[in-house]
Amino acid sequence: MDFYLDTADINQIKEIDKWGILRGVTTNPSIIAKTGRDYQEAVSEVLAIMGNRPVSVETLKDDAEVIVEQGKKYREWGNNVVVKVATTEEGLKALSELRKLGIPTNATLIFSLNQGILAAEAGANYISPFVGRLDDIGADGIGLVEDCVNYVEENGLDCKIISASLRSPQHLEESAKVGAHIATCPYSLLTKALKHPLNDIGLKAFLDDWEKAKKKLKK
Ligand code: E4P
């Protein structure tokens, strides 16, 4: 499973990049708004840091023609842009048009298998089921990820499933177990996922033991 960061915070991207696991970034208008910066300025900095790794950049209107124009414009900012499109009627039209133009897309706000199937069949290169937001209303977010993975794989579609809206380390492990191709995570989730109390206790004991042994050797 590939790990993406769901952020536009440059410091978070730089930090996780040092871990050697960062394969891409996803953003959305709420995430960009948090930076307090101009949309293009904030996105361009992320694109530059990520080099040739994909960065999803969301379009800003539910109108197919406008989405396609925005998508073309975003691709001028960087050839690692993946155009993120909300899964609506207008979105489907834009996804199929962008596919024809060879512009990669990520169909976002997927809350049902039907939406996932339609977006994948329309030509989305990635689809993003929103696990946390489904779980918040008592639905089965991970089940949807699994269903989407099965559908694209059984039908041989050129479409990767991004497990999105992840809230907990459990979501991350479950995404891997059901075969999500990608998990996009907030920074705080990745740092939490790495932690384990037995790891902390074990490391402390190893280091303490060695300090004691060193003192004995010096005597
Ligand atoms: C995915 O591409 C979205 O940006 C993101 O995962 C949404 O997460 P949220 O439900 O925590 O806002």
pLDDT tens per residue, range 13-64: 999 999 999 999 999 999 999 999 999 999 999 999 999 999 999 999 999 9
Give dist(CA 145, CA 165) in Å, integer. 11
76 band by pLDDT with thresholds 50, 70 and 90: very high
pLDDT of 34: 96
The encoded tokens of residue 197 equal: 């109390």
Of 126, 184, 187, 189, the residue with max ligand 1 atoms within 8 A of its CB, to mutate for a pocket test, comes to 184
pLDDT of 124: 98
Give dist(CA 96, CA 60) in Å, integer. 18
Give dist(CA 26, CA 81) in Å, integer. 10
Kindly list the protein residues whose Cβ atom lies closer than 6 A to any atom of ligand 1: 6, 26, 28, 108, 128, 130, 132-133, 164-165, 184
pLDDT of 64: 98
**Nearest residue (CA) to ligand 1, atom 10:** 165
Predicted TM-score (pTM) of the model is 0.96
| Residue of 51, 98, 100 lying closest to 79 (CA atoms) | 51
Contact 107, 97 (CB under 8 A): no
pLDDT of 39: 98
Residues 83-104, buried b or exposed e (16+ Cβ, 10 A)? bbbbbbebbbbbbbbbbeeebb
Q: Which amino acid is at 213?
A: A
218 band by pLDDT with thresholds 50, 70 and 90: confident
Q: How far is CA 34 from CA 8, 42, 119, 206, 208, in A?
A: 8, 10, 28, 41, 42
12 band by pLDDT with thresholds 50, 70 and 90: very high
| Residue of 104, 60, 49 lying closest to 79 (CA atoms) | 104
Contacts of 198 (CB under 8 A, 6+ apart): none
Identify which has the larger pLDDT, 219 or 115.
Answer: 115
Sign of the dihedral defined by the CA atoms of residues 209, 214, 215, 219, in that order: positive
Task: Please give the average per-residue pLDDT across 164-179, as a whole number.
Answer: 98
pLDDT of 219: 77
Sign of the dihedral defined by the CA atoms of residues 196, 164, 50, 61, in that order: negative
Ligand 1 centroid to Cα of residue 56, in Å, is 12
**Nearest residue (CA) to ligand 1, atom 8:** 165
Task: Please give the average per-residue pLDDT across 132-136, as a whole number.
Answer: 98
**DSSP run (H or E) holding 19:** none
